[in-house]
Amino acid sequence: MKTYLLGGAAALALSLAACGQKAETSEEDAVIAGAEVSEEESEGLPEIIVTDAELEGNPFRQEWDTPYGVPPFAEIQDAHYLPATRKAVLELRADIDAIVSNPDAPTFENTIVALDGAGASLDKVIRVFSNITSTDTNDTLRDLEAEIWPMLTREQTAISFNPELFERVKAVYEQRDRLGLDEQDARLLELTHRDFVRNGADLAPGVKTQVAKINEEMSGLTTEFGRNLLLSTKDFKIEITDEAELVGLSEDFKGALKVKGEDKWVLTVDRSVYETFMTQSENRDLRAKMFDGYRLRASEGEYDNGPLAIKIAQLRAKKAELMGYKSHAHYQLETRMAKTPEAAEEFLLRVWEPGLKRAKQERADMQEMVGGEFQIAGHDWWYYSEKVRQARYAFDDNALKPYFELGAVRQGVFDVTSKLFNISFEPVEVEAWNPIVKSWTVTDNETGEYLGLFMADMYARDSKRGGAWMSSYRGASDVDGDNVRPIVTNNLNLIQPVEGEPTLMRFDEVETLFHEFGHGMHGMLTQIRYKTFFGVNGPRDYTEFPAQILEHWAGAPEVLSTFATHYETGEPIPLELIDKMNAAATFNQGFKTTEYIAAALLDLRWHMLTSEEAAQITNAREFEKKVLEEYGLIPEIEPRYRTQYFSHVFAGGYSAGYYAYLWSEILDADGFTAFRESGDIFDPELAAQLKKWVYEAGGLREADELYRNFRGSDPTIEPLLQIRGFGEEKPSEG
């Protein structure tokens, strides 16, 4: 997910890790709010000048009298973002000055609550800017990112290092036991103080200056990394004029690739296109070209991200050292469930060992199928693993697609969450950022309360970044009776079918839709009053849990029978096909487990480097190869993300935290097991606990406590191993 102002400007200021995506240009390149940084200003903030004429007619300076408070997208132009951001930054400064200069003694209300609510106008513009640059970007917006994100980094650092502000926060914190705070108040105070300390508020002045410079430089580097990846991905295209080269591809997939009005088909390395092509295509040479096109993105020429990744890792390591930590990973994991990178690595290796063993067997099975004709290579894995699965289970994944039409799948996830959480969805016509977006209101059936607006953007396009994510155009809060409900979005990158044809999905895409909807419900159902810890705000190795547990309902036979109907006949999916799908569920888990954990280990090793060790790295690919060889990765499997296109960690908020998906899988596997053991996957008592302690609770308590309150006990790893088909394996100690 895009990370920005997740809890308002205060959270921007207090959560450097949450802003890793954008919160990290060298000083000589930094142009803040259109003004060069002078020597006189280097110790403070640069002057920002924005005129009334620049703001005239700017929709961000107006109240939005729109249905559900949706931004007036048709009125927002690229030229509006920069002046609106400048003005909002000035208002944020005024909010902070008002807190600091308050003549009254520091109190919870005039300091902590005021800080949580600071920068409302900045929150308004940055949420829109951040979302649009992910879904409908262009050259102008990319240039604006390089200016706006460093500007916000400067403001963020200034707030974190404001000594008068921290003194007020500390004064309130030191009397916390005498203030009579309720649980949410106490949690806000705890997190505010903790984040100030972790962001360096107690550092010596000289160290603060160094950290501030690092923050600023990283902002430019991470923005450039993401830009290079997007441009490199969109730059790669293979044009096919001979249909015979597309042998093996399904007719609907070929139709989606065809250029309208021409006898030409275009292949890209957008993930949905890439995976479908690599699974279906019989053209081995073309598979090899696609394989190299995907794995070599942003690895050479003007878009080479290798030097950027090295510099980012070096700066993160140096910053961690300045703040008293052994490495960036040690800093990041201190407040997460894993606690230390060593613990995260140990956990990953417990699953890596049986996964790698299984992957080697999968490779042998494919080699047996092709015989001595050629040696199985990385570009063969998707295609031949599907052939082995078809032979072993008499099951073709393409046979499922007619039963997974997008509208039916979406209704399926609506029905599941309605039954679990007693909520309802009503389609509404709302102006959105793109004509393909669809919207629904969400309502609590018991109270009749409006919970928020859900908006879905399902299709890939050149202006949209890859992958799938949840985000929001407005967060939730409930301070002083002003109950603000969220505007939540889900984004996928499905292949848009030919006009008039249905959108048919692979089952892994169905699971992705359920996954992102789980994030969406985490943001939608929140009952937290403060922006700092509402909804999805929380440690990375926990916030994937509410998304991943919902995936289990996607494949449950009793759920599939309700929404998986043939798009032409309306017939429900045959039980025989469900049985075959479930029998094949653990097939190729060696590959899936190994490619994922390889990336997670790579992330940890980049960020476990000390400052001295990081300074010795000169070639990103050589470092990557050395690390993966140490763990024994076989050459036929690429890590899910190579360093040069690992945007989660070098342009996103997951640095030293990509392991979180698997860590959260301990929770989701254990949690869904509770539903299975109850005899009812919609067990009302368990569902009520899941809703209260997970989806509604945000960051109310530490993650392990929230899980125990739902489950009644700590999770165990056995359900995870069982679900992946490794239950019979006995991983070695250590």
- Residues carrying an active site annotation: 516
Question: Degrees (nearest 5) of the Cα angle 621, 623, 628?
Answer: 95
* 439 beta partners: 428, 455
The token duo for 338 is: 């894993």
HSE-up of residue 20 (Cα within 13 Å, Cβ side): 22
Rounded distance between C-alpha atoms, residue 592 and residue 511, angstroms: 15
CA atoms within 13 A on the CB side of 138: 4
Cα 680 from Cα 259, distance rounded (Å): 48
For 599, the token pair is 């990336």
Among 19, 214, 227, which Cα is nearest to 122's? 19
Q: Which CB contacts under 8 angstroms, 24+ apart, belong to 585-589?
A: 585/555, 585/725, 586/723, 586/724, 586/725, 587/385, 587/388, 587/389, 587/392, 587/393, 588/362, 588/385, 588/389, 589/355, 589/358, 589/724, 589/725, 589/726
* DSSP sequence for 173-236: HHTGGGS---HHHHHHHHHHHHHHHHTTTTS-HHHHHHHHHHHHHHHHHHHHHHHHHHHHHHH-
DSSP labels for 324-359?
T-SSHHHHHHTTSTT-SHHHHHHHHHHHHHHHHHHH
Q: What burial letters (b/e) apply to 549-576, b meaning 16+ CB within 10 Å?
A: bbbbbbbbeebbebbbbebeeeebbeee
